[in-house]
Amino acid sequence: MNKDQFVIGVDYGTDSVRSVLINATNGNEIASSVFNYPRWRDGLYCNAADNQFRQHPIDYIEGLETTIKDCLAKAGGSVAGAVKGISVDTTGSTPVAVDSNGVPLALTPGFENNPNAMFVLWKDHTSVNEAAQINEHATKFDINYLKYVGGIYSSEWFWAKLLHILRADEQVRKACHSWVEHCDWIPFLLTGGSGAGNIKRGRCSAGHKALWAEEFGGLPPDEFFSSLDPLLTGFTSRLFTDTFTSDQKAGYLSKEWADRLGLSTDVAVGVGAFDAHMGAVGGQIEPYHLSKVMGTSTCDILVAPTAEMQGKLVKGICGQVNGSVIPGMTGLEAGQSAFGDTYAWFKNVISWPLNNLLKDSAIIDTKTAEALRNEISARIIPELSRQAQLLPIDTSNELAIDWLNGRRTPDADQTLKSAITGLNLGSDAPKIFRALAEATCFGAKSIVDRFIQEGIPVKGIIGIGGVAKKSPFVMQMMADVLGMPIRIHQFEHTCALGAAMFAAVVADIYPTVEDAMAAMGSGFDVEYYPDKQLNEVYTKRYRQYADLGKFVEWQVAVKASNNEHKIYQA
């Protein structure tokens, strides 16, 4: 292989998009660039109180162009001419309504500021009712169409989001020709695709979120959806039957995008996938090792040889799909709906005076107030971690549940709420923060335990993502809770590196994903080992966490039942 072959991996996260320019020979990073979505940053089109989180496609387009061009500018010289491939990963399920040409409705006249015409972010839970209806409806069929998604359909996924949007907005409903995942649309955009029916749908998104399965020969039949709600009639015919693994080409860079980026139309563009799935590849996943992508939420990925998965169905996870991570392997996905978001929420709560009162101070000027706010805000989580780490661990400590954004797995239920118990007048910020950190680690343990209970061994933990890299406090606690070592991958933008590895395969630089991983993987730089004594205490704490979780589930169920009774009486 020539030394001047380069690839680009693009990783769309919740708050920003990052691109990396990688030397395909050895996996060395030549340049990287991050773009924060300006409309998302300003809170546009979102309403957290109603669990509505939408993103404008313009944020995605601007970020794509800005980061790639920035990487090429940083690299300098003749690097652009030696770029051979681009692959993309995104959050998911994050779909959007498109017209017959495959254009998101928010990019068409009349829909520019309509949140229902924008990408519905994974963490948008406005479709909890639709998800519940899908779960109930599925029980009426002889074929279990939910068998490969853990038996429970989630409001974070494709069909629930589509049905909610169709019900909520008549204008969008009339204009919506099809429904497309973010990770499928970006390659379609880059290749100059025309016609919604020509979008290559990734195996990853289709299998884990849209109920596509090899056993069904594609999606469930139209009858399954039309009998759920007539609004879904005919949608399967406008979606897809075939799916593609991410080692396959979506096409080549269009002239428009080649000109915009300063690249060649010979650049191969790969079929897209979700961030955690490509991140697992970037983090050099091994069979039966759980790759945890730890950011705002967690996505947990495990791969197993497909031949060894025959007859095994894992209950309550986000699906198991042949080839969704590595061709020839079954990819199994789980995760937590809030992880880093849990810490961010608490930081926001205790920062209320900084964010709302400091700017009106009669003692310091506005500029100084803003500088002080920024300084203190940046120190909150590191200092809370330091103070929390000094606290003794005991079964009488404050205890929390991590369901601030519902529960993803095991057993998806986005109606669930968080809770904190054991509070007293001595409960301060570090103690509460420690309880929240424990809760996120206990949530991780519940996932590991579910895999093991279902006959899937977990031989090791691989940590990637922002929390894994930035919080030794949380990582050591997780190792102690799980009673297992955790290896942290040394590459900063691991999901983007995984995308770059796929780009090297679609550009025919390497024949397989495994070959690209071996050549381009950068290894691990930190490993956390469990403390046996602490593990014994945490095992008792975990039982307390499980009992509190059962109480919260009961409480939420009683409240929902009472609300239904009130509606019936009305």
Asked if residue 335 belongs to a domain, the reply is: no
Rounded CA gap, 411 and 550, in Å?
A: 13
> Collapsing DSSP states into helix, strand and coil, what is residue 2?
coil
The secondary structure of 470-530, three-state, reads HCHHHHHHHHHHHCCCEEEECCCCHHHHHHHHHHHHHCCCCCCHHHHHHHHCCCEEEEECC
At 291, which helix (H) or strand (E)? strand 289-294
Structure tokens at 434: 């420690």
Structure tokens at 238: 């406008």
Asked if residue 164 belongs to a domain, the reply is: yes
Question: 403 and 509: one domain?
Answer: no
Question: 377 and 251: one domain?
Answer: no
Q: Could you give the C-alpha distances from 527 to 256, 263, 461, in angstroms and in order? A: 45, 39, 10
Question: 384 and 511: one domain?
Answer: no
Structure tokens at 224: 């399954």
Asked if residue 478 belongs to a domain, the reply is: yes
Q: Could you give the C-alpha distances from 365 to 355, 369, 375, in angstroms and in order? A: 15, 6, 15
Asked if residue 49 belongs to a domain, the reply is: yes
Q: Domains in the chain: how many in total?
A: 2
Asked if residue 397 belongs to a domain, the reply is: yes
Asked if residue 544 belongs to a domain, the reply is: yes
**What single string gives the DSSP state of each residue in 92-147?**
SS-EEEE-TTS-BGGGSTT-TT-GGGSEE-TT--TTHHHHHHHHHHHTTSSS-TTG
Q: Helices 366-389 and 340-350 sit at what angle, rounded to 10 degrees? A: 130
pLDDT for 310: 87
Q: Could you give the C-alpha distances from 188 to 10, 191, 197, 199, 321, in angstroms and in order? A: 14, 5, 11, 6, 23
Asked if residue 323 belongs to a domain, the reply is: no
Rounded CA gap, 48 and 520, in Å?
A: 40
Question: 382 and 468: one domain?
Answer: yes
Question: 183 and 214: one domain?
Answer: yes
At 400, which helix (H) or strand (E)? strand 399-401
Question: 348 and 495: one domain?
Answer: no
Do residues 263 and 83 touch, judged by C-beta distance below 8 A? yes
The secondary structure of 320-354, three-state, reads EEECCCCCCEEEEEEEECCCHHHHHHHHHHHCHHH
Full residue range of the structural domain in which residue 451 is found: 340-489+531-569
pLDDT for 561: 77
Per-residue pLDDT of the chain (570 residues; tens, 9 = 90+): 456 799 999 999 999 999 999 999 999 999 999 999 999 999 999 998 899 999 999 999 999 999 999 999 999 878 999 999 999 999 999 999 999 999 999 999 999 999 999 999 999 999 999 999 999 999 999 999 999 999 999 999 999 999 999 999 999 999 999 999 999 999 999 999 999 999 999 999 999 999 999 999 999 999 999 999 999 999 999 999 999 999 999 999 999 999 999 999 999 999 999 999 999 999 999 999 999 999 889 999 999 999 999 889 999 999 999 999 999 999 999 999 999 999 999 999 999 999 999 989 999 999 999 999 999 999 999 999 999 999 999 999 999 999 999 999 999 999 999 999 999 999 999 999 999 999 999 999 999 999 999 999 999 999 998 899 999 999 999 999 999 999 999 998 999 999 999 999 999 999 999 999 999 998 999 999 999 999 999 999 999 999 999 999 999 999 887 776 555 455
Question: 435 and 495: one domain?
Answer: no
Q: Dihedrals φ, ψ of 188, to 5°?
A: -60, -40
Question: 70 and 140: one domain?
Answer: yes
Rounded CA gap, 123 and 134, in Å?
A: 18
pLDDT for 25: 94
Question: 516 and 461: one domain?
Answer: no
pLDDT for 568: 46
Asked if residue 294 belongs to a domain, the reply is: no
Q: Could you give the C-alpha distances from 276 to 89, 145, 334, in angstroms and in order? A: 8, 24, 10
Model pTM score: 0.92
Question: 183 and 104: one domain?
Answer: yes
Do residues 146 and 138 touch, judged by C-beta distance below 8 A? yes
Specify the CATH number for the domain of residue 261: 3.30.420.40
Question: 178 and 264: one domain?
Answer: yes
Question: 512 and 548: one domain?
Answer: no
Q: If 0-12 CB within 10 Å is exposed, 13-18 middle and 19+ buried, where does residue 221 land?
A: middle
